[in-house]
Amino acid sequence: MSKKVRTAVFPVAGLGTRFLPATKAMPKEMLTVVDRPLIQYAVDEAREAGIEHFVFVTGRNKGVIEDHFDRQFELETTLKERGKTKALEELQADLPIAGQASFTRQQEPLGLGHAVWCARDIVGNEPFALLLPDMLIKATPGALKQMMKAYHQNSGNIIAVEEVDPNDVSSYGIVGRGAGEDEAFKIDQMVEKPTIKDAPSNLIISGRYILQPEIFELLGSHIKGAGGEIQITDAMQKLLKTQDFTGVKFDGKTFDCGSKIGFLTANVAYALDRDDIKGDFMSELLNILSAKK
């Protein structure tokens, strides 16, 4: 039987340089898609999948993330006094209960793999989920919940994958596809940003993982890879030699909110799903497009 995945790790220490000056004083994970921060979408996805403990790996100037997941008594009192009951209930529903959230600091920007390693003592000797908040996945049910189904059937390590244009494979980590169906297939190799000729498929690693704790020992070697950083993909390549990795081609769409185009597109897609604003928003979009023509 698969050991239950109770903990999720959220690496939120990045500098967000592609969104300067907006991210000079505000973490990129707090940028909003419609009216919810990116990090809140990731936490919601994890909660839906049954996660009980949320671990945030932060860095300098990231205190606002911790504040976001804490109670703000003055705001709550004001909302209550003004009769804004719905807004108050929504705020309270977003909060982890006491003791569910942990925060640790990545003191140097040494890469995603190093950020994950910083959570090792909090996670302990258990499997854990890893969610990259700037990879916003629009899916019902959420991508992690879809992955949990595959995990309970296959155990081991699970990676969410998505097809891209073969011409774009050099921008991503790519997996090689072994036996199995879209819902769960064996991964037989991983390649970081291959050329079109060397890519084993056009299936990219989409920022959602379920990993076994042995990954921490491999990350602890602190061997630098692409870009002079400690890469999670390098550690997974080594772990692949001794443990199974399963790919899940989830039903949904990823918006790379680390890029301006992905972020703006996500705002449009999520706004058009909102019954309270989609009509007026569509009208304004059409007006803008008509004027541009």
pLDDT tens-digit readout, 195-219: 888 899 999 999 999 999 999 999 9
Name the token pair of 20: 């300067």
pLDDT at 150: 93
pLDDT digits 0-9 by tens, 93-133? 888 888 899 999 998 888 899 999 999 999 999 999 999 99
Q: Amino acid identity of 144? A: L
Q: Which of 28, 33, 98, 49 is nearest to 69 (CA)?
A: 98
Q: pLDDT band for position 180 (50/70/90)?
A: confident
Domains and CATH numbers, the chain: 7-258 (3.90.550.10)
pTM comes to 0.92
Asked whether 187 and 246 are in contact (CB, 8 A), the reply is yes
pLDDT digits 0-9 by tens, 221-245? 888 777 778 889 999 999 999 999 9
Dihedral sign, CA of 157, 160, 166, 170? negative
Q: Could you please report the per-residue DSSP string of 136-197? A: EEE-SS-HHHHHHHHHHHH-SEEEEEEE--GGGGGGSEEEEEEEEETTEEEEEEEEES--TT
Gap between the Cα atoms of 161 and 259, Å rounded: 19
Q: At what angle do helices 73-81 and 85-94 cross, to 10 degrees?
A: 150
Gap between the Cα atoms of 206 and 174, Å rounded: 10
Residue 180's region, left for phi above 0, alpha for psi from -120 to 50, else beta, is left
Asked whether 206 and 250 are in contact (CB, 8 A), the reply is yes
Q: pLDDT band for position 183 (50/70/90)?
A: confident
Residue keyed to tokens 């690496």: 11
Q: What angle is formed at CA 14 by the lines to CA 120 and CA 41, rounded to 5 degrees? A: 80
For residue 198, CA distances in Å to 173, 176, 238 come to 12, 11, 19
Q: Could you please report the per-residue DSSP string of 196-239? A: TTT-S-SEEEEEEEEE-TTHHHHHTT----GGGS--HHHHHHHH
